[in-house]
Copies of this chain bind each other. A is one copy, B any other.
Amino acid sequence: VTWIIPLQGKQAHLCSAYGLRTVRQGKLNKKACHIDCEDCAQLQIAAFRSLKPEELRALRGCKSTNSVRRKQIIFHENDSVRGLHCIHEGKVKLYKTLDDGSTQILKIAKAADLIGYRGLIGDGKYIATCEALEDSLVCFIPKERVFELISHNPRFAMDLMAKIAEDISEAENRSINFLQKSSKERLAGALLFLEKSFGLAADGSIDLLLTREELAGLTGNVMETAIRILHGWEAEGIVALNRKRIRITDRDKMISIAGVNSTLM
Protein backbone atom coordinates (compact mmCIF):
# COMPACT_ATOMS: atom_id res chain seq x y z
CA VAL A 1 0.00 0.00 0.00
CA THR A 2 1.18 3.50 -0.75
CA TRP A 3 0.61 6.14 1.92
CA ILE A 4 0.56 9.76 1.09
CA ILE A 5 2.31 11.75 3.74
CA PRO A 6 1.94 15.50 3.72
CA LEU A 7 5.07 17.54 4.26
CA GLN A 8 5.14 20.11 6.99
CA GLY A 9 5.03 23.88 6.70
CA LYS A 10 5.84 25.89 3.61
CA GLN A 11 6.91 22.93 1.59
CA ALA A 12 3.66 21.15 2.22
CA HIS A 13 1.75 24.21 1.25
CA LEU A 14 3.52 24.45 -2.08
CA CYS A 15 2.90 20.82 -2.63
CA SER A 16 -0.81 21.04 -2.10
CA ALA A 17 -1.29 24.33 -3.89
CA TYR A 18 0.38 23.01 -6.97
CA GLY A 19 -1.69 19.88 -6.92
CA LEU A 20 1.41 17.74 -6.54
CA ARG A 21 1.59 14.92 -4.13
CA THR A 22 4.56 13.56 -2.34
CA VAL A 23 4.50 9.84 -1.84
CA ARG A 24 6.49 8.23 0.91
CA GLN A 25 6.30 5.35 3.28
CA GLY A 26 4.87 6.41 6.63
CA LYS A 27 2.78 5.64 9.64
CA LEU A 28 -0.21 7.91 9.05
CA ASN A 29 -3.10 5.71 10.03
CA LYS A 30 -5.41 6.97 7.38
CA LYS A 31 -5.56 5.88 3.79
CA ALA A 32 -4.99 8.92 1.65
CA CYS A 33 -6.19 7.25 -1.48
CA HIS A 34 -7.59 8.89 -4.54
CA ILE A 35 -11.28 9.61 -4.19
CA ASP A 36 -13.54 9.68 -7.19
CA CYS A 37 -16.04 12.50 -7.29
CA GLU A 38 -18.52 10.02 -8.68
CA ASP A 39 -18.31 7.97 -5.50
CA CYS A 40 -18.09 10.83 -3.10
CA ALA A 41 -20.92 10.58 -0.65
CA GLN A 42 -20.82 14.35 -0.22
CA LEU A 43 -21.97 14.93 -3.74
CA GLN A 44 -25.52 15.69 -2.74
CA ILE A 45 -24.47 18.44 -0.40
CA ALA A 46 -21.59 20.01 -2.21
CA ALA A 47 -21.91 22.35 -5.15
CA PHE A 48 -21.10 19.51 -7.51
CA ARG A 49 -24.56 18.04 -7.39
CA SER A 50 -25.55 19.65 -10.66
CA LEU A 51 -22.67 18.16 -12.60
CA LYS A 52 -23.61 15.53 -15.13
CA PRO A 53 -22.19 12.02 -14.78
CA GLU A 54 -19.85 12.52 -17.68
CA GLU A 55 -18.58 15.75 -16.18
CA LEU A 56 -17.89 13.97 -12.92
CA ARG A 57 -16.08 11.22 -14.76
CA ALA A 58 -13.97 13.79 -16.50
CA LEU A 59 -12.92 15.19 -13.16
CA ARG A 60 -11.31 11.90 -12.27
CA GLY A 61 -8.29 12.59 -14.37
CA CYS A 62 -7.51 16.08 -13.20
CA LYS A 63 -8.45 16.22 -9.57
CA SER A 64 -6.23 15.22 -6.72
CA THR A 65 -6.77 14.39 -3.09
CA ASN A 66 -4.38 15.65 -0.46
CA SER A 67 -3.98 14.47 3.04
CA VAL A 68 -3.10 17.24 5.47
CA ARG A 69 -2.14 17.07 9.11
CA ARG A 70 -3.49 19.17 11.95
CA LYS A 71 -1.96 22.67 11.96
CA GLN A 72 -0.75 22.28 8.41
CA ILE A 73 -1.34 25.19 6.08
CA ILE A 74 -3.31 24.35 2.95
CA PHE A 75 -2.88 27.73 1.34
CA HIS A 76 -1.77 31.19 2.33
CA GLU A 77 -3.51 34.51 1.97
CA ASN A 78 -2.40 36.26 -1.24
CA ASP A 79 -1.09 33.13 -2.90
CA SER A 80 -2.27 32.68 -6.45
CA VAL A 81 -5.33 30.52 -6.64
CA ARG A 82 -4.63 27.23 -8.39
CA GLY A 83 -8.10 25.84 -8.18
CA LEU A 84 -10.96 24.77 -6.04
CA HIS A 85 -10.60 22.83 -2.79
CA CYS A 86 -13.28 20.58 -1.40
CA ILE A 87 -13.05 19.15 2.08
CA HIS A 88 -13.62 15.43 1.96
CA GLU A 89 -12.94 14.74 5.60
CA GLY A 90 -11.82 16.80 8.58
CA LYS A 91 -12.04 20.46 9.50
CA VAL A 92 -10.07 23.51 8.49
CA LYS A 93 -10.12 27.14 9.50
CA LEU A 94 -9.85 30.14 7.22
CA TYR A 95 -8.30 33.20 8.75
CA LYS A 96 -6.73 36.50 7.91
CA THR A 97 -3.65 37.85 9.60
CA LEU A 98 -3.89 41.49 10.56
CA ASP A 99 -1.14 44.08 10.62
CA ASP A 100 -0.68 43.74 14.35
CA GLY A 101 -0.05 40.04 13.93
CA SER A 102 -3.35 38.95 15.40
CA THR A 103 -5.62 36.73 13.36
CA GLN A 104 -9.30 36.81 12.59
CA ILE A 105 -11.02 33.55 11.78
CA LEU A 106 -13.45 34.01 8.90
CA LYS A 107 -14.85 30.56 8.65
CA ILE A 108 -14.46 27.02 9.78
CA ALA A 109 -15.07 24.55 6.99
CA LYS A 110 -15.96 20.91 7.32
CA ALA A 111 -16.62 17.92 5.09
CA ALA A 112 -18.42 18.81 1.84
CA ASP A 113 -17.49 22.48 2.15
CA LEU A 114 -15.89 24.19 -0.78
CA ILE A 115 -13.03 26.58 -0.20
CA GLY A 116 -11.02 28.90 -2.36
CA TYR A 117 -13.82 29.68 -4.79
CA ARG A 118 -13.80 33.34 -4.04
CA GLY A 119 -10.24 33.96 -5.02
CA LEU A 120 -10.93 31.83 -8.05
CA ILE A 121 -13.66 34.09 -9.26
CA GLY A 122 -12.26 37.31 -7.94
CA ASP A 123 -8.75 38.57 -8.40
CA GLY A 124 -7.05 35.20 -8.42
CA LYS A 125 -5.53 35.45 -4.95
CA TYR A 126 -6.58 33.58 -1.87
CA ILE A 127 -8.17 36.03 0.52
CA ALA A 128 -7.38 34.02 3.59
CA THR A 129 -5.03 31.43 4.97
CA CYS A 130 -6.40 27.94 5.33
CA GLU A 131 -5.14 25.74 8.12
CA ALA A 132 -6.22 22.24 9.09
CA LEU A 133 -7.76 22.01 12.54
CA GLU A 134 -7.47 18.25 12.43
CA ASP A 135 -5.98 15.71 10.04
CA SER A 136 -8.04 16.11 6.90
CA LEU A 137 -8.50 15.01 3.33
CA VAL A 138 -8.88 17.84 0.88
CA CYS A 139 -9.65 17.37 -2.80
CA PHE A 140 -8.41 19.80 -5.37
CA ILE A 141 -9.65 20.68 -8.85
CA PRO A 142 -7.53 22.92 -11.09
CA LYS A 143 -9.13 26.21 -11.94
CA GLU A 144 -9.04 25.70 -15.69
CA ARG A 145 -11.37 22.79 -15.23
CA VAL A 146 -13.65 24.79 -12.96
CA PHE A 147 -13.95 27.57 -15.51
CA GLU A 148 -14.80 24.99 -18.14
CA LEU A 149 -17.56 23.62 -15.95
CA ILE A 150 -18.92 27.10 -15.32
CA SER A 151 -19.11 27.87 -19.03
CA HIS A 152 -20.63 24.59 -20.04
CA ASN A 153 -23.02 24.06 -17.17
CA PRO A 154 -25.16 27.04 -16.18
CA ARG A 155 -26.66 25.15 -13.26
CA PHE A 156 -23.24 24.59 -11.82
CA ALA A 157 -22.57 28.29 -12.25
CA MET A 158 -25.76 29.12 -10.39
CA ASP A 159 -24.94 26.70 -7.61
CA LEU A 160 -21.52 28.18 -7.19
CA MET A 161 -23.05 31.62 -7.11
CA ALA A 162 -25.55 30.55 -4.51
CA LYS A 163 -22.66 29.23 -2.48
CA ILE A 164 -20.99 32.60 -2.64
CA ALA A 165 -24.19 34.45 -1.87
CA GLU A 166 -24.53 32.27 1.21
CA ASP A 167 -21.06 33.25 2.30
CA ILE A 168 -21.92 36.90 1.97
CA SER A 169 -24.94 36.59 4.14
CA GLU A 170 -22.84 34.83 6.68
CA ALA A 171 -20.18 37.51 6.59
CA GLU A 172 -22.79 40.21 6.78
CA ASN A 173 -24.71 38.67 9.60
CA ARG A 174 -21.48 38.28 11.37
CA SER A 175 -20.45 41.88 10.95
CA ILE A 176 -23.85 42.96 12.20
CA ASN A 177 -23.77 40.64 15.15
CA PHE A 178 -20.28 41.72 15.96
CA LEU A 179 -21.19 45.34 15.91
CA GLN A 180 -24.37 45.37 17.80
CA LYS A 181 -23.82 42.62 20.27
CA SER A 182 -21.83 42.30 23.45
CA SER A 183 -19.05 39.79 24.02
CA LYS A 184 -21.41 37.42 25.76
CA GLU A 185 -24.03 37.61 23.06
CA ARG A 186 -21.44 36.95 20.38
CA LEU A 187 -19.93 34.03 22.20
CA ALA A 188 -23.33 32.51 22.90
CA GLY A 189 -24.31 32.91 19.26
CA ALA A 190 -21.05 31.36 18.13
CA LEU A 191 -21.42 28.33 20.38
CA LEU A 192 -24.96 27.71 19.17
CA PHE A 193 -23.82 28.11 15.59
CA LEU A 194 -20.89 25.75 16.06
CA GLU A 195 -23.07 23.17 17.75
CA LYS A 196 -25.53 23.34 14.88
CA SER A 197 -22.95 23.10 12.15
CA PHE A 198 -20.55 20.61 13.68
CA GLY A 199 -22.93 18.55 15.71
CA LEU A 200 -22.34 16.75 18.96
CA ALA A 201 -19.55 14.40 19.96
CA ALA A 202 -20.28 11.24 21.93
CA ASP A 203 -20.27 13.09 25.24
CA GLY A 204 -22.71 15.72 24.06
CA SER A 205 -20.09 18.40 23.59
CA ILE A 206 -19.70 20.39 20.39
CA ASP A 207 -17.81 18.24 17.91
CA LEU A 208 -15.11 20.80 17.26
CA LEU A 209 -12.07 21.40 19.37
CA LEU A 210 -10.78 24.94 19.43
CA THR A 211 -8.27 26.57 21.69
CA ARG A 212 -9.64 29.38 23.80
CA GLU A 213 -7.66 31.69 21.58
CA GLU A 214 -9.40 30.39 18.46
CA LEU A 215 -12.80 30.54 20.08
CA ALA A 216 -12.11 34.11 21.10
CA GLY A 217 -10.78 34.96 17.63
CA LEU A 218 -13.94 33.64 16.09
CA THR A 219 -16.09 35.94 18.16
CA GLY A 220 -13.89 38.98 18.12
CA ASN A 221 -12.85 38.77 21.71
CA VAL A 222 -9.52 38.45 23.44
CA MET A 223 -8.83 35.12 25.01
CA GLU A 224 -9.20 36.36 28.56
CA THR A 225 -12.70 37.65 27.92
CA ALA A 226 -13.79 34.37 26.37
CA ILE A 227 -12.41 32.45 29.33
CA ARG A 228 -14.12 34.66 31.87
CA ILE A 229 -17.45 34.36 30.11
CA LEU A 230 -17.18 30.60 29.76
CA HIS A 231 -16.35 30.13 33.41
CA GLY A 232 -19.17 32.42 34.40
CA TRP A 233 -21.54 30.26 32.39
CA GLU A 234 -20.09 27.12 33.88
CA ALA A 235 -20.87 28.47 37.35
CA GLU A 236 -24.41 29.23 36.21
CA GLY A 237 -24.82 25.75 34.80
CA ILE A 238 -25.25 26.91 31.23
CA VAL A 239 -22.24 25.05 29.88
CA ALA A 240 -20.04 22.21 31.02
CA LEU A 241 -16.35 22.55 30.28
CA ASN A 242 -13.81 19.78 29.95
CA ARG A 243 -10.58 20.93 28.42
CA LYS A 244 -11.43 21.98 24.91
CA ARG A 245 -14.76 20.21 25.03
CA ILE A 246 -17.72 22.51 25.50
CA ARG A 247 -21.17 21.16 26.16
CA ILE A 248 -24.20 23.41 26.20
CA THR A 249 -26.25 22.22 29.15
CA ASP A 250 -28.93 24.89 29.13
CA ARG A 251 -29.74 25.59 25.53
CA ASP A 252 -32.74 27.81 26.22
CA LYS A 253 -30.69 30.08 28.37
CA MET A 254 -27.91 30.15 25.81
CA ILE A 255 -30.39 31.13 23.12
CA SER A 256 -31.80 33.90 25.25
CA ILE A 257 -28.30 35.20 25.87
CA ALA A 258 -27.47 35.12 22.18
CA GLY A 259 -30.49 37.28 21.41
CA VAL A 260 -33.05 37.13 18.64
CA ASN A 261 -31.07 37.94 15.55
CA SER A 262 -28.61 35.13 15.89
CA THR A 263 -29.56 32.95 12.96
CA LEU A 264 -25.90 32.76 12.19
CA MET A 265 -23.21 33.26 14.72
Give the residues from 160 to 216 in chain A that come closer than 8 angstroms, CB to CB, to chain B: 160-162, 164-169, 171-172, 174-176, 178-180
Residues of chain B with a CB closer than 8 A to A165's CB: 118, 121-122, 164
Query: A118 contacts which chain B residues (CB < 8 A)?
Result: 165, 168-169
Instruction: Give the one of A150, A167, A172 with max B CB within 10 A.
Output: A172
Main secondary structure of the interface of A (DSSP, over half): helix
Binds B, one of A40-48, A132-140, A151-159, A229-237: A151-159
A1 at the interface (CB under 8 A from B): no
CB-CB nearest in chain B for A217: B179
Segment with Cβ contacts to B, from A30-38, A63-71, A84-92, A97-105:
A97-105
A66, chain B: closest CB distance, angstroms: 24
What is the distance, in angstroms, from A22's C-beta to the closest C-beta of chain B? 32
Q: Is A261 part of the contact surface with B, judged by Cβ < 8 Å? A: yes
* Chain B proximity of A79: nearest CB distance (Å): 16
Cβ-based interface call for A259 (8 A): yes
Task: Name the B residues within 8 Å of A98 (CB-CB).
Answer: 176, 180, 261
Copies of this chain in its oligomeric complex: 2
Q: Does A21 contact B (CB under 8 A)?
A: no
Contact A172 B127 (CB under 8 A): yes
The distance in angstroms between the C-alpha atoms of A121 and B160, with both chains bound, is: 10
Q: Chain A 87-131 against B: per-residue CB contact (8 Å), 1 yes, 0 no? A: 000000000101110101010000000000010011000010000
| B150 touching A158, Cβ below 8 Å | yes
On whether the beta carbons of B171 and A172 are closer than 8 Å, the reply is yes
Task: Tell me if A220 counts as interface (CB < 8 A to partner B).
Answer: yes
Inter-chain CA distance A195–B156, complex, in Å, is 38
Q: Which B residue sits closest to A155, measured CB to CB?
A: B151
- Set of chain B residues within 8 Å of A176, measured between Cβ atoms: 96, 98, 104, 106
Q: Of B127, B154, B179, B180, which is within 8 A of A150 by CB?
A: B154
Q: Do B179 and A220 have beta carbons less than 8 Å apart?
A: yes
- CB within 8 Å of B: which residues of A? 96, 98-100, 102, 104, 106, 118, 121-122, 127, 150-152, 154, 157-158, 160-162, 164-169, 171-172, 174-176, 178-180, 220, 259-261
